[in-house]
Amino acid sequence: MSDATAPAPRRIRMTVIGPILALVLLVIAGALMNPNFLGWDNVTNVLARSAFIGIIAVGMTFVITAGGLDLSVGSMAAFIAGLMILVMNSLVPSMGAGIPVILIGMAVALLAGLAAGLLNGILITRLGIEAFIVTLGSMGIYRSLVTWLADGGTLSLDFTLRSLYQPVYYGGVFGITWPIIVFAVVVVIGEVVMRSTAFGRHCAAIGSNEQVAKYSSVRVDRVRLMTYAALGLLVGIATIMYVPRLGSASSATGMLWELEAIAAVIIGGTVLKGGFGRVWGTVIGVLILTLIGNLLNLTDFVSPYLNGAIQGAIIVLAVVLQREGKAR
Amino acid sequence: MKHFVSGLAIAAALAAPALAQDGETKVIGVSIPAATHGWAGGMNYFAQATVDRLEETYPQLDFVLATASDPAKQVNDIEDMVATRNIDALVVLPFESEPLTGPVQNVKASGAWITVVDRGLSQEGIEDLYVAGDNPGFGRVSGEYMASALPEGGKIVVLRGIPTTIDNERVEGFQAAIEGKNIEILGMEHGDWNRDKAFTVMQDFLSKYPQIDAVWASDDDMAVGVLGAIEAAGRKDIKFVLGGAGMKEMVKRTMDGDAMIPANVTYPPAMIATAIEITAVGLVSQAPVSGDFIIGSVLVTPENAETYYYPDSPF
């Protein structure tokens, strides 16, 4: 940023352009390396597989903007998936394998997600325990619970139910699958809430200075609690999309989703300390993360042993690109 | 205070059996990784089932079973077993070879019998008994099947496990077995023995290669993900998927004659049962049991699948 002719406006733009630039570079690199990269199938694959982390990351954007953190989302998703499968399987004998059972399963997922999110939120706001500690604890609890529910193995959805439920992941309208549609809807709602509602502004206010927010008559605890509850609900929605894909849940489900979601949020330009959040940035972050994995699979460019290193380097690079403008 | 008292009561109840029995009682410690994936889940199940069975059979034996979610926890478990239960024998499936070698050596120094399962320690001569699966053999049997199922040759993709010695040995065995059989490996990627990862990797393989004749998923959890991806893409060029390890759902499909899952290659999680049983025999009888016990990997086909189908196991 030594360019003397570039005053303030350009600096601000860099924080905006950083993640987009990284994404565009990745897409160009991908298109050059493999002709199938921009094919319809590959594009829908990438978008659909981004949906789980993406839906969760939108919720995470609000939590982080309000100065919080949630490490439990990956285990929570695994637990909800396990619970959902158990409930649906147990209803098959009495209700038969039909749409009502699937609807009940979905309701269970949403309720369980909401309850889990509220529990995290209440422990954090009412008891005043650090978010890091509370969610570290619940991460372990949910991970153990799903292992216990599955008896150490894998919970599989009843076969007839599975084929009935599968369209929720694989089906869609006009060739666009449901996970992509739901992801898009969640993003649009998230963006509107963050930008144009009191709730979004309160999140940012709390994250940048809790005391000032309190004196400005923002109901700090309530807003915080709502961010965790919303995140829990979104985890429930993501799980509803996840279960029909392979129809199973095990202790390996949702492994490290929390870190991917947090990384996506930060790559997207939301400040980890809170105070500023950008929902569309989070979407870019999620796409960058998924694309890296996709690209590495589509090319034989680097040894698969180095996948993690490449991902790490790109994450850091994307954040450096943003800081360029801000730091000086 | 109430909690403290009930805590004492529990401690007393736990200690009571050990005190009540005579000096002849021998304690076997079993330390295994927690059920973090399907295979380990099966292994946990067989460990528990074997301990229950043996406690019934041999009243003079006592068992301590501990599952660890990481190597450090496993080291603590083993130290606790020695310190608080004074174990006479240790059956251990090391989480990782390096960090467990020292602690197990200490147990050996205390005079206990050591049985090591599946993953060898990084120093030789510590264990009295070594029970393990045959990883190069697992790859070889898979490769031989692949060669016989594609007599004309063909193009395949390979999903590998978590980058470890186990995975390397399997892949080397596989490659050696298909050498000169006109089978071309289009691509190999790590699916980490994980369904979701395998699903993603297979989707990308399908985008990358227009013609794939068969898939060596090398593990049944990965085979589930691979099948999901193939089904979703609606591709008809893939003739079959060869998994491995003998997950019950997959063995069932082979048994029922599913053309996509024509075979399986065993790598039985029940090897922990073999290890505990032999260790127990060594403690209660005069039979010599030291040495190596390598459990071969067997090809499961529709004809013999029934023998390898364990409906009660979680794996």
Query: 3-class SS at A36?
Result: coil
Domain locations along chain B = 2-133+269-296, 135-265
Residues from chain A contacting residue B40 (CB–CB below 8 Å):
152
Whether A250 sits inside 8 A of B38 (CB atoms) is yes
Domain locations along chain A = 50-274
> Is the CB of residue B248 less than 8 Å away from at least one CB of chain A?
no
Q: Are B222 and B198 in contact (CB under 8 A)?
A: yes
pLDDT digits (tens, 9 = 90+) for B26-49: 899 999 988 777 788 888 889 999
- Report the pLDDT value the prediction gives residue B116, as an integer from 0 to 100: 92
How far away is chain A from the Cα of B23, in angstroms, using its nearest Cα? 36
pLDDT along chain A (328 residues), means of 10: 46 69 87 84 89 95 94 95 92 86 94 95 92 94 90 80 87 88 95 93 91 88 94 96 88 87 89 88 92 82 76 78 56
Number of C-beta neighbours around residue B44 at 10 A: 25
ipTM of the complex: 0.71
How far away is chain A from the Cα of B38, in angstroms, using its nearest Cα? 5
Q: Are A14 and A321 in contact (CB under 8 A)?
A: yes
d(CA B81, CA B32): 13
The listed CATH number (3.40.50.1000, 3.40.50.300, 3.40.50.2300, 3.40.50.720) that belongs to domain B2-133+269-296:
3.40.50.2300
The runs of H, that is alpha helices, within chain A are 8-33, 40-65, 73-95, 99-125, 131-149, 159-165, 167-170, 178-196, 198-208, 210-215, 220-246, 257-267, 279-298, 307-327
- Report the pLDDT value the prediction gives residue A3, as an integer from 0 to 100: 46
Residue B18 scores a pLDDT above 60: no
B183-190 and B154-160 as β-strands: parallel, antiparallel, unpaired? parallel
d(CA B208, CA A312): 24
Out of B190, B199, B201, name the one closest to residue A245 (CB).
B199
**What is the residue whose two structure tokens read 């006109």?**
B182
Most confident stretch, A308-312, B137-141, B163-167, B285-289:
B137-141
> CATH topology of B2-133+269-296 equal to that of B135-265?
yes
Distances from the Cα of B251 to the Cαs of A86, B38, B164, B256, B305, in angstroms? 23, 14, 26, 9, 6
Residue B130 belongs to what H/E stretch? Answer: strand B129-133
Residues from chain A contacting residue B45 (CB–CB below 8 Å):
151-153
Residue B7 scores a pLDDT above 80: no
Cβ-in-10-Å burial (0-12, 13-18, 19+) of B209 comes to: middle
Distances from the Cα of B204 to the Cαs of A37, A98, B255, in angstroms? 9, 33, 30
Q: Which of B50, B83, B82, B48 is nearest to B67 (CA)?
A: B48
> Is the CB of residue B35 less than 8 Å away from at least one CB of chain A?
yes
Banded model confidence at residue B51, pLDDT cuts 50, 70, 90: very high
More confident residue, B51 or B120: B51
The listed CATH number (3.30.1490.100, 3.90.280.10, 3.40.50.2300, 3.20.20.80) that belongs to domain B135-265:
3.40.50.2300
How far away is chain A from the Cα of B199, in angstroms, using its nearest Cα? 9
- Report the pLDDT value the prediction gives residue A13, as an integer from 0 to 100: 61
Query: 3-class SS at A24?
Result: helix
Percent of chain B with pLDDT over 70: 92
> Is the CB of residue A144 less than 8 Å away from at least one CB of chain B?
no
The token pair at B224 is 């589930």
B240-242 and B214-216 as β-strands: parallel, antiparallel, unpaired? parallel
Banded model confidence at residue B211, pLDDT cuts 50, 70, 90: very high
**What is the residue whose two structure tokens read 């597989």?**
A49
Q: Are B110 and B88 in contact (CB under 8 A)?
A: no
How far away is chain A from the Cα of B89, in angstroms, using its nearest Cα? 26
The token pair at B193 is 């023995």
Whether B221 sits inside 8 A of A298 (CB atoms) is no
d(CA B307, CA A154): 22
Kindly identify which residue of chain A lies nearest to residue B187, measuring between CA atoms. A300
- Report the pLDDT value the prediction gives residue A37, as an integer from 0 to 100: 85
**What is the residue whose two structure tokens read 């994250």?**
A207
Residue B3 scores a pLDDT above 80: no
A-B C-beta contacts closer than 8 Å: 94
Residues from chain A contacting residue B314 (CB–CB below 8 Å):
150-154
CA dihedral B69, B71, B73, B79 (to 10 degrees): 140
